[in-house]
Copies of this chain bind each other. A is one copy, B any other.
Amino acid sequence: MSETTTAESAERRVRRRQSRRELIVLAAVEVFREMGLEKATLEAVGERVGLSKASLYYYVRSKEELLGHVVVHVVRAQEEALARVLDAGGPEERLRAFCHSHVRIICTDPVGRVSAQVALSGIRDDVVRRPLHEYMSRLESILRDGVAAGVFRDMDLRIAQHSIIATLNAVPLWFSPEGRLSLDEVAAQVSGLLVDGMLAKR
């Protein structure tokens, strides 16, 4: 076998493994929504994608690792959404865009909804919490910039981050698509409440 062929097939293997893992994450999201985070099992996910426990184990080693992949999926979706808007403005506009886009993703993407449940659960496993921490640090940098620029008032950044994320992640618990306000109107109002609360008094 020539070197090129070996490299090509290795690359193809990696790609196939990734796309298989994406499918597993999507199947897991269905299982998590049907059975709940606590009751869901790797076996049930394996059945959904037609893999034995041993074969599934090649792609994912624990339920917690699977939840971690769910969170990562949402972090990526948020990154893509924000890449289109974040350069547009100062800290106030960036925070507003962050909040609005977060609400949209967790209310419209089934993966996002499970990810919000994970964040609001008491799950402490490091493989799940790590991507959440990364996500929080993105929010922290927006807040820090805003405080430094005098746009936001001087506040405890950790408390502000957690309060913002909790408010956003709870939206799917009470938002109804049949309600008086559309998702975008709700997202705008929630973002407004959060952002206005942080603005420095002028």
Q: Which A residues form the contact surface with B (CB < 8 A)? A: 36-39, 117, 120-122, 155-156, 158-160, 162-163, 165-167, 169-171, 173-174, 181, 186, 189-190, 193-194, 196-198
Contact = CB atoms under 8 A, between A and B. Distances in A.
A181 to B, nearest CB: 7
A190 B196 CA distance: 15
Contacts of A38: 36-39
20 contacts: A36-B38, A38-B39, A39-B39, A117-B122, A120-B120, A120-B121, A158-B174, A162-B174, A163-B170, A163-B193, A165-B170, A166-B166, A166-B169, A166-B170, A167-B167, A170-B170, A193-B197, A193-B198, A194-B197, A197-B198
Contacts of A171: 162
Contacts of A163: 167, 170, 190, 193-194
Oligomeric state, in number of copies? 2
Most chain B beta-carbon neighbours within 10 Å: one of A120, A186, A190, A198: A120
Contacts of A167: 163, 166-167
Contact of A173 (B155, B159, B166): B166
A170 B39 contact: no
A96 B171 CA distance: 22
A191 to B, nearest CB: 10
A120 B170 CA distance: 7
A193 B36 contact: no
Nearest to A173: B122
Contacts of A37: 38
Q: Which of A38, A155, A167, A169 has the most CB of B within 10 A?
A: A167
Contacts of A165: 170
